[in-house]
Amino acid sequence: MEHTYLINRACSLSDSIERMQAVAAFAVSAVASQWDRTGKPFNPLLGETFELIREDQGFRLVSEQVSHHPPVSAFHAESLSGDFVFHGSIYPKLKFWGKSVEAEPRGTITLELLKHSEVYTWSNPYCCVHNIILGKLWIEQYGTVEIVNHSTREKCVLNFKPCGMFGKELHKVEGYIQDKSKKKLCVIYGKWTECMWSVDPQAYETYKKSDKKGDKTKKNEELQKAENDEADDMPEVQETVSVIPGSTLLWRIESRPAHSATMYNFTNFAVALNELEPGMEAVLAPTDSRFRPDIRAMENGNIDEASKEKERLEEKQRAARKERAKQEEEWITRWFQMGTNPFTGSQEWIYSGGYFNRNYQNLPDIY
């Protein structure tokens, strides 16, 4: 939700292609926070919730851990002014490939622009963490992301490029927006770690042709240098995006705070998410992440206590699961129910409402 201004921008635009550009920029910006975020996160506890109200950005959000095996986080966000609803669930399927871990995205993300009666859906790209055993950890995202406007049948196809042998494609995203008759109306390009631009398809093709000529000799030199190392070294190629003349900037990442490296490479937005401000305790659900004692201990620099609390919470969760099995009880989710996404027809977790009424009776004791 860090770049919600892009959704607000989409709501304010009268042209559907310009709206799609803003939505595409939002979809890319949502994975940008993963750049350099190689630390293993805390496992969410079944029934854990998180709420976020940002009046400055005009939205409120609630999220619930609805499943433990597989781990599934469902979320629902809505505009305070009634302009949009944004919802979905995240449950990456992990695969281990020896030296790396690949996360295959599961779950659809849906954005409804209510003022325009438009619905967009997409899934996130694949994410791979390299060198889990040896060498420096680094992340790449790859795969095709299709954003569909179900109202106009316009589509944006984004290709998150794998880094390739020499890292020339590292972090690159390229794609296009097409109308319902599959005519390409504009090209979108950039890096998910940096910025995204839009340009006319003709200007893009002309630029690509002139760019290819200079590439051939460089490739031959690089091939001679190729070696097979023990670790998958992160390519050194970090040049910024070459901007094609006539392009329009859609989104640019904000620089991270100076102390970001010592704060799990969080952005300014992420650093503030665990704050417990005065008065919050009386309002938040008792299952809110801000009350988790292991995360709070770690944030306060007490690693030993964090480790003990983490163990205690996981043991408590296991004991509760055994007790349910003994009583033959099913876990009941509180704020989300399994249902059919009316736009894609797929089964997913849908917000059942009521969270912000602040009726928090009968919530599970998970901490």
* pLDDT value, residue 181: 94
Q: What is the pTM of this model?
A: 0.89
Concatenate the DSSP letters of all residues of 219-278 into one string: HHHHHHH----SS-PPP---PPP-PPTT-EEEEEPPPPPTTGGGTTT--HHHHTTT---T
Domain membership of residue 185 (yes or no) is: yes
Domain membership of residue 32 (yes or no) is: yes
- CATH code, domain with 115: 2.40.160.120
Q: How far is CA 223 from CA 168, 198, 218, in A?
A: 13, 32, 9
* pLDDT value, residue 139: 86
Furthest C-alpha separation in the chain: 70
* pLDDT value, residue 214: 58
Domain membership of residue 278 (yes or no) is: no
Eight-class DSSP state of 290 = G
Amino acid at 96: F
Domain membership of residue 53 (yes or no) is: yes
* Cα(366)–Cα(287) distance, integer angstroms: 7
Domain membership of residue 298 (yes or no) is: no
Structure tokens at 84: 């949009």
* Cα(84)–Cα(118) distance, integer angstroms: 10
Q: Examine residue 162 and say whether the peptide bond preceding it is cis (omega within 30 degrees of 0).
A: no
State the sign of the Cα–Cα–Cα–Cα dihedral 252, 76, 180, 152: negative
Structural domain range at position 211: 5-221+232-271
Comparing C-alpha atoms, which of 37, 218, 16, 217 is closest to residue 118? Answer: 16
Domain count, the chain: 1
Spans in the chain with pLDDT lower than 50? 221-227, 237
* pLDDT value, residue 260: 86
Domain membership of residue 147 (yes or no) is: yes
Burial 309-323 (b: 16+ CB within 10 A, else e): bbeebeeebeebeee
Domain membership of residue 39 (yes or no) is: yes
* pLDDT value, residue 222: 47
* Cα(298)–Cα(294) distance, integer angstroms: 6
